[in-house]
A and B are shown apart, each in its own frame.
Chain A
């Protein structure tokens, strides 16, 4: 083992679930020299990896501040401490991962998918403010009147996966479809 063992252990102990992920943070900076550096230093200090900075120098917010969008990569468990460090520097955080879909889940629907209007099923899931269907595969080897299967990949905001699953369950019950739910192993 030649790598930094602290990080390797952290990943190992958590079953690999705390691998670094991309996060987007929107900041507003005062139009003063040195502000951008002050905002970026805590990110580096907290061990996050800076991916890109979008610094709209020409634009000012209605409050006369400069919007900056920062993409960074860090383990999800460390993201909060990055935000805390930014706040400690007096940086104003407008959004943190607001538009990002933090969790994914895969479910299978089985039954009369065509007869129960699959596109309506998908649209009903999409109507949730916190979930979106990213991918759909349908297999109906017996034709449209036979039992078919669909695999759905659903993206949800962080912490909303259980709510999305509940929505799928409710829809399936209404349409008399079977749901094959993903198994969450460990915690």
Chain B
């Protein structure tokens, strides 16, 4: 497949880096200001080197990337809420040209799922978005394999930063602010951690899951989610939980009818009580009880692994 990669953050760079290994060709790359286009295929290493040392990926106009001759648009720009722009327009343009789209950007499928699906219905292209939920963990692929109509719920830990903070608080008996500062020093938490610790990121992933599970019966956006973060959890709550063999995790739940994210009490031995930045999801099936999947939920190569798995699932274009 010929890939056009829009967005050159950690995930975009890893896609460019790993595409050849998967047998794909990168014909266009754009970051927010610059672009590199070559119908004969770009030298990924050279593009990444230029990005690292010069801050640009090439001399072309970012608009040229959307007009390039590619098979799959890999949309990995930062997640935006509300109108989910510019991600949504990138997708619309690719679908209008009957091209496939693979997303790591959560915005379009969390905030405008119905619009994305409507555009897809009018196109020969297909939209896949494994990388938007749980990084490298094959959650949406598993849901698609089993059939979303045979899955009653999905629940799990879908934000590594919040899970890291709760795990450290429980293990070290430290308070939230202390552990958060440590996480920021380690690069696990961002300077503004609110997206993670207030539950927004986990909620977006659950909204996407609920949209898939609802099978078109209902559309969810972030506004439909009941969301509570972990900023109010003191160390004393984790101590009391541990005394009773429990722990607290930021758990997201998605069903065809609801989305809920909040700190929850669960047994220390629960498969959902993963440690550190790890993610986990439990898929409740109609005929086979629960399926637990865990792994790395974030990171460049991890998320690119999910992106390239999606690319591999796509049929060739006519």
Give A residues with C-beta under 8 Å from B.
13, 15, 106-108, 110-111, 137, 139-141, 147-151, 153, 178, 180-183, 185-187
Contacts and interface: CB of A to CB of B under 8 A. Distances in A.
Contacts of B265: 106-108, 180-183
A149 B173 CA distance: 14
Given A110-B233, A141-B236, A180-B237, A186 B284 contact: yes
15 contacts: A106-B244, A107-B265, A110-B233, A110-B234, A139-B239, A141-B235, A149-B240, A151-B244, A178-B232, A180-B262, A180-B263, A180-B265, A181-B265, A182-B265, A183-B155
A151 B237 CA distance: 8
B240 A186 contact: no
A183 B237 CA distance: 16
Q: Which bracket fits the contact residues of B?
A: 20 to 34
Interface in B165-197: none
Interface in B231-279: 232-237, 239-241, 243-244, 246, 248-249, 251, 262-266, 270, 272
B241 A108 contact: yes
The 5 lowest CB-CB distance pairs between A and B, nearest first, are A139-B236, A149-B237, A183-B264, A151-B240, A149-B236
A76 to B, nearest CB: 18
Interface string B288-307: 01100000000000000000
Contact of A185 (B237, B241, B282): B282
A147 B234 contact: yes
Contacts of A106: 244, 246, 265
Interface string B73-87: 000000000000000
A153 B228 CA distance: 23
A149 B234 contact: yes
B264 A181 contact: yes
A139 B240 contact: yes
A31 to B, nearest CB: 49
Contact of B237 (A110, A153, A186): A110
B284 A181 contact: no
A137 B265 CA distance: 15
B240 A150 contact: yes
A181 B262 contact: yes
Contacts of B290: 185-186
Interface in B16-46: none
